[in-house]
């Protein structure tokens, strides 16, 4: 299975959330802890301490707008204040580095009784202990519970399952402290003035922990698939609402520990995901621990061009240095080895529709991405771009490896600028008691990445992506056609026409024929070699023609992606083995130049190139191409068609063809055969196993670029082709109508794709 995944990449349209149990392991406190001076949305704050200052447990370290924030989790001495990399991909930020004293300091705050103290006392405790949210840009928990909004919060939910696949930190904390989570729900319900708090859990966990709830908490089960645990999706749950505040189970427990134990939020639980994408375990480290300390403890050594990610595989941020530190928003650390990194591509969209299938809100991502790529941002509003929740699933499954999430975000930003919603932000510098923190090599060790090793691979999310590509897809099609080619060649060798030496003209000249006879080989070998010769000639000519066109037209060089070879092979399979090479030459050149490259290449042509090339030579020299039925390579008997079916089923299993088109085409053939039975020769089986219907159902009609991307249009598209084939066979003048029917419906494909699923209105 792993070999198949590497060759073809069994593609996913969804990712399951991690449900395995990984007990939390505590890591030792490192010699130094670094606390970046940043808060919500990357705002840099002012430090309240300086180098060599003594800091006590609970003493505020920095302030913003004259409000003291973030109490120190340790007692110790400020060893230095330097710039370190921001773990979320922004510019470097100042950081206070503390050297903790030996031993554990006593908790600086007295424990409170949450049932006896007033709400104001409880709120003050949560604020002075510095409890923060787990958001990508952490900010104080009270700011989340009491937002600056005219509408009060309607409900409060504690997220007890993790947002991203492969991560299990929140779910494990819930397993290990279920009763404390219930108590935290009761505490928070009192603070915000609500009678009940929801605890969001995977559907499989509701029965196991329901007995430990109190009257102030209620389980809210969700499907354990990404992105069902993202805030935007959750707020559209029928039991919640847009004014729901969602906090993590860790933030709720931090508030509980602050009130009931007097603790400052000083530790963070996160999941470590190893090089093979496997979850290595959950760990609890001190906030302020550098990533290098964690990897060293795990025995993981990021090498040259590896990728280190702070966060999960779908929303995390790649790091260029290990100098970043753990904070309340880091829920995972990942190491991806160089060989496992899937790079982004400049390949065009091929309209395969995988992004549409993956999108949880049914957006036409392929069109939004194209319009954004060509700066047609206004057009993206017609496709509800504002409903995108930035989950990244579209980019994770994209066959062409396009940065779809970033194209969507680009369009969003440009639309904001055009509408005047982009606020001018005044850049704020951090000050250390009135002094600006300078970005120099002396106080900025992160700059060492540019002069030393290792240099890590950086790139934007999602970091788990389909390893497929347009090249792999095209070569998968070619491999799937090899059984057809082999069976056809063997059938030609043993057929009645094999004794006809004069008919085996194909790629064999008269001189070669004479040479073959002198070698003692019979005429069957000529037919056998003609099949392989035509296919190899078509594939080679397809690649060469595509390359010449790209050079002449100054197009991006994509000739090595195998699409030209695939088109040449399909042209050859629709020809009889006796077709002259010059006919093949014209058909392939027309297919690549006139039907494909003149429209921009793969992803841009309106009709199937191989069928256009075949149609030109058929209408011009029918006596060379006719009959195309059983005399063609792909239609030479039932055995050949069975081999074609097997190859097509293989493509469907690995996800490279849309079975909706295949099945609806065959249904259209069956229905039309029953309707026009009196005007046709043979029954349903005779019709399906004659001509190129089987080749069309699996390899021609399923071409991604010239077929619809949405499911309902695909069903209409395939059924219409099947009906047209039988109509032309019954009342037309051509013995096999497959190419004509497909080309006619190809033209209708953009119109059919206007039938699209309704967009779910989920964005806030």
What's the mean per-residue pLDDT of the chain? 84
For the stretch 353-411, pLDDT in tens is: 999 999 999 999 999 999 999 999 999 999 999 999 999 999 999 999 999 999 999 99
Residue 329 to residue 318: CA distance in whole angstroms:
15
Backbone φ and ψ of 50, nearest 5°? -135, 170
pLDDT (0 to 100) of residue 536: 92
For the stretch 585-607, pLDDT in tens is: 999 999 999 999 999 999 999 99
pLDDT (0 to 100) of residue 159: 93
For the stretch 484-507, pLDDT in tens is: 998 888 876 655 544 444 444 444
Residue 612 has pLDDT above 60, yes or no: yes
Residue 427 has pLDDT above 50, yes or no: no
pLDDT (0 to 100) of residue 441: 45
Residue 216 to residue 258: CA distance in whole angstroms:
20
Over range 213-222, report the average pLDDT.
79
For the stretch 68-109, pLDDT in tens is: 678 888 889 999 888 888 888 777 788 889 999 887 666 678
Among 160-169, 443-452, 668-677, which stretch is predicted with the lowest mean pLDDT? 443-452
Residue 437 has pLDDT above 80, yes or no: no
Category of 758 on φ-ψ map: left (φ > 0), alpha (ψ -120 to 50) or beta: beta
Residue 50 has pLDDT above 60, yes or no: yes
Most confident of 32-46, 166-180, 490-504: 166-180
For the stretch 320-352, pLDDT in tens is: 888 889 988 899 999 999 999 988 888 899 999
Over range 468-488, report the average pLDDT.
93
Residue 679: which residues within 8 A CB-CB, separation 6 or more? 730, 731
Give residue 624's pLDDT band: very low, low, confident or very high (50, 70, 90): confident
- Transcribe 374-398 into DSSP letters: TT-HHHHGGGTGGG-----HHHHH-
Helices (H), 696-737: 711-731
* Tally of CA atoms within 13 A in the half-sphere of 231 that contains its CB: 15
Residue 40 to residue 156: CA distance in whole angstroms:
21
pLDDT (0 to 100) of residue 5: 46
For the stretch 99-117, pLDDT in tens is: 998 876 666 788 999 888 9
Name the DSSP class of 312.
-
Residue 230: which residues within 8 A CB-CB, separation 6 or more? 163, 389, 391
Give residue 518's pLDDT band: very low, low, confident or very high (50, 70, 90): low
For the stretch 647-680, pLDDT in tens is: 999 999 998 999 999 999 999 999 999 999 888 8
Share of the chain above pLDDT 70, in %: 84
pLDDT (0 to 100) of residue 448: 45
Name the DSSP class of 588.
H
Residue 40 has pLDDT above 70, yes or no: no
The vertex-493 CA angle with 490 and 494, nearest 5°, equals 95
Residue 35 to residue 43: CA distance in whole angstroms:
14
- Residues 595, 601, 602, 605: is their CA dihedral positive or negative? negative
Over range 418-439, report the average pLDDT.
47
Tokens of 268: 């963070």
Among 33-47, 270-284, 393-407, 518-532, which stretch is predicted with the lowest mean pLDDT? 518-532
Over range 34-61, report the average pLDDT.
79
Residue 428 has pLDDT above 50, yes or no: no
Give residue 429's pLDDT band: very low, low, confident or very high (50, 70, 90): very low
The candidate with the shortest Cα–Cα distance to 527, out of 575, 568, 481, 495, is 495
Peptide bond into 667 cis (omega under 30): no
pLDDT (0 to 100) of residue 8: 44
* Per-residue H/E/C for 268-294: EEEEEECCCCCEEEEEEEECCCEHHHH
Instruction: Provide the β-strand partners of residue 198.
Output: 157, 218
pLDDT (0 to 100) of residue 499: 41
Residue 436 has pLDDT above 70, yes or no: no
- 8 A C-beta contact, residue 327 and residue 268: yes
- 8 A C-beta contact, residue 687 and residue 729: yes
Give residue 43's pLDDT band: very low, low, confident or very high (50, 70, 90): low
pLDDT (0 to 100) of residue 631: 66
Among 21-35, 117-131, 154-168, 520-534, which stretch is predicted with the lowest mean pLDDT? 520-534
Residue 221 has pLDDT above 70, yes or no: yes
Residue 703 has pLDDT above 60, yes or no: yes
Does residue 318 sit in helix, strand or coil? Answer: strand
Instruction: Provide the β-strand partners of residue 63.
Output: 46, 68
pLDDT (0 to 100) of residue 755: 92
pTM of the model: 0.85
* Per-residue H/E/C for 608-674: CHHHHHHHHHHHHCHHHHCCCCCCCHHHCCHHHHHHHHHHHHHHHHCCCCCHHHHHHHHHHHHHHHH
């Amino acid at each position: 299975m792993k070999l198949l995944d590497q060759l073809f990449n069994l593609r996913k349209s969804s990712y399951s959330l991690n449900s395995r149990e990984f007990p939390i392991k505590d890591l030792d406190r490192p010699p130094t802890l670094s606390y970046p001076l940043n808060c919500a949305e990357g705002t840099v704050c002012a430090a309240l301490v300086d180098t060599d200052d003594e800091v006590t447990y609970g003493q505020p370290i920095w302030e913003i707008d004259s409000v003291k924030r973030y109490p120190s989790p340790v007692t110790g001495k400020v060893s230095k204040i330097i710039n370190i990399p921001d773990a979320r991909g922004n510019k470097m930020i100042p950081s206070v580095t503390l050297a903790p004293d030996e031993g554990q300091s006593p908790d600086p705050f007295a424990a409170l009784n949450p049932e006896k103290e007033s709400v104001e006392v409880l709120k003050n405790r949560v604020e002075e202990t510095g409890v923060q949210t787990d958001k990508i840009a952490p900010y104080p928990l009270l700011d989340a519970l009491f937002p600056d909004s005219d509408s009060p919060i309607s409900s409060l939910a504690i997220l007890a399952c993790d947002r991203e696949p492969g991560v299990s930190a929140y779910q494990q904390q819930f397993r290990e402290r279920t009763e404390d989570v219930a108590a935290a729900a009761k505490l928070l319900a009192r603070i915000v003035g609500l009678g009940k708090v929801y605890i969001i859990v995977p559907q499989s966990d509701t029965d196991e922990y329901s007995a430990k709830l109190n009257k102030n908490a209620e389980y809210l089960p969700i499907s354990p698939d990404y992105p069902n645990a993202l805030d935007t999706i959750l707020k559209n749950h029928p039991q919640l609402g847009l004014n729901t505040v969602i906090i993590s189970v860790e933030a709720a427990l931090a508030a509980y520990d602050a009130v009931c134990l007097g603790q400052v939020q000083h530790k963070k639980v996160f999941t470590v995901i190893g090089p093979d994408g496997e979850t290595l375990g959950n760990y609890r480290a001190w906030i302020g621990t550098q990533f290098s300390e964690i990897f060293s403890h795990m025995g993981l050594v990021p090498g040259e061009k590896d990728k280190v990610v702070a966060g999960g595989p779908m929303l995390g941020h790649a790091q260029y240095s290990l100098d970043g530190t753990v904070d309340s928003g880091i829920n995972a650390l990942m190491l991806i080895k160089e060989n496992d990194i899937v790079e982004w591509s400049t390949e065009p969209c091929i309209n395969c529709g995988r992004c549409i299938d993956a999108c949880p809100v049914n957006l036409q991502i392929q069109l939004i991405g194209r319009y954004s790529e060509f700066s047609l941002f206004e057009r993206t509003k017609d496709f509800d771009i504002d409903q995108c929740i930035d989950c990244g699933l579209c980019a994770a499954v994209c066959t062409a490896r396009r940065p779809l999430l970033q194209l969507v975000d680009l369009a969003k930003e440009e639309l904001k600028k055009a509408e005047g919603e982009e606020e001018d932000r005044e850049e704020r510098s951090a000050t250390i008691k009135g002094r600006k923190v300078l970005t120099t090599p002396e106080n900025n060790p992160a700059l060492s990445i540019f002069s030393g090793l290792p240099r890590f691979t950086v790139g934007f999310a999602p970091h788990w992506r389909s390893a497929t590509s347009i090249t792999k897809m095209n070569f998968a099609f070619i491999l799937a056609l090899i059984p057809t080619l082999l069976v056809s060649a063997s059938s030609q060798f043993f057929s009645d026409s094999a004794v006809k030496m004069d008919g085996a003209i194909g790629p064999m000249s008269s001189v070669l024929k004479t040479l073959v006879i002198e070698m003692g080989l019979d005429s069957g070998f000529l037919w056998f070699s003609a099949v392989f010769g035509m296919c190899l000639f078509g594939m080679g000519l397809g690649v060469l023609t595509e390359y010449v066109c790209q050079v002449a037209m100054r197009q991006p060089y994509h000739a090595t992606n195998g699409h030209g070879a695939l088109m040449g092979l399909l042209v050859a399979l629709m020809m009889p083995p006796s077709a002259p090479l010059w006919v093949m030459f014209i058909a392939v050149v027309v297919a690549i130049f006139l039907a494909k490259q003149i429209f921009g290449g793969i992803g841009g042509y309106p009709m199937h190139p191989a069928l256009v090339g075949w149609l030109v030579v058929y209408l011009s020299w029918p006596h060379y191409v006719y009959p195309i039925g059983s005399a063609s390579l792909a239609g030479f008997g039932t055995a050949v068609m069975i081999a074609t079916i097997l190859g097509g089923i293989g493509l469907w299993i690995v996800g490279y063809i849309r079975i909706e088109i295949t099945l609806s085409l065959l249904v259209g053939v069956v229905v039309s055969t029953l309707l026009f039975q009196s005007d046709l020769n043979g029954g349903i089986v005779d019709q399906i196993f004659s001509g190129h219907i089987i080749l069309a159902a699996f390899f021609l009609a399923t071409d991604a670029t010239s077929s619809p991307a949405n499911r309902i249009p695909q069903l209409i598209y395939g059924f219409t082709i099947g009906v047209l084939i039988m109509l032309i066979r019954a009342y037309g003048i051509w013995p096999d109508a497959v190419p004509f029917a497909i080309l006619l419906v190809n033209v209708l494909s953009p119109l059919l794709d206007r039938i699209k699923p309704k967009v779910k209105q989920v964005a806030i």
